[in-house]
């Protein structure tokens, strides 16, 4: 998944020139509060660009993902707690915690892996995800939650901000 993320980065960067192609969600019913802009890049992969606001560790939302994903942190930092559950109905057992800093990548490649993201400051990330795992139902997702969207002006601002951040990543990688 990380390889696919790196393959898609130039295309994501380019398509940020076209804010009308992107959708958005304001995820403010749990923490961290998250501003997401997203779009599909083919029949399999979706890119989600997140701006997270800082929150306390006790408030960070632990969750599994219903699909494989790869993540790149562009700015800020967060405490990342990782665990697993045997059946997704049981609470997870958390096994380690790490600090994710700019230009770090990681992936989720197992449906019973859980994680918790606790930003210590405003943080920007890119996540790509593939198709839902077979039999993965009732995962804690934003689907069907009737969440607000960003205004067209706010979405355009997010696109410009992420273009600058991805440009910084490309320059750092050289």
Mean pLDDT, consecutive 10-residue stretches, the chain (174 aa), reads 97 98 95 97 96 97 94 98 90 96 96 96 98 72 70 98 97 74
| Predicted local distance difference test score (pLDDT) of residue 112 | 93
Q: What is the pLDDT of residue 174?
A: 58
Task: Looking at the structure, give the CATH architecture of the domain made up of residues 2-9+24-132+155-169.
Answer: Sandwich (2.60)
Q: Taking the domains of the chain in order of start, what are their residue ranges?
A: 2-9+24-132+155-169
Q: What gap in Å lies between CA 48 and CA 38, rounded to an integer?
A: 4
Phi, psi angles (nearest 5°) of residue 113: -85, 135
Q: Which residues contact 6 (CB under 8 A, 6 or more apart)?
A: none
Residue 145: per-residue pLDDT: 57
- Four-CA torsion 144, 46, 166, 118, nearest 10 degrees: 40
- 78 in Cβ contact with 61 (< 8 Å): no
What pTM was computed for the model? 0.92
């Amino acid at each position: 998944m990380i390889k696919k993320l790196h393959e898609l980065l130039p295309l994501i960067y380019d398509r940020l020139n076209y804010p009308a192609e992107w959708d958005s969600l304001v995820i403010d019913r749990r923490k961290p509060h998250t501003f997401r802009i997203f779009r599909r890049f083919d029949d399999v992969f979706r890119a989600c660009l997140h701006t997270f606001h800082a929150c306390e560790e006790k408030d960070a939302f632990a969750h599994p993902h219903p699909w494989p994903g790869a993540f790149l942190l562009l700015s800020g930092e967060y405490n990342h707690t990782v665990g697993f559950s045997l059946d997704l109905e049981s609470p997870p057992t958390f096994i380690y915690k790490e600090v994710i800093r700019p230009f770090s990548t990681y992936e989720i490649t197992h449906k019973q892996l859980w994680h918790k993201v606790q930003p210590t400051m405003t943080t920007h990330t890119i996540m790509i995800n593939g198709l839902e795992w077979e039999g993965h139902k009732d995962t804690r997702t934003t689907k069907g939650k009737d969440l607000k969207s960003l205004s067209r002006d706010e979405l355009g601002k997010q696109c410009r901000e992420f273009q600058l951040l991805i440009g910084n990543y490309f320059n750092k990688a050289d």
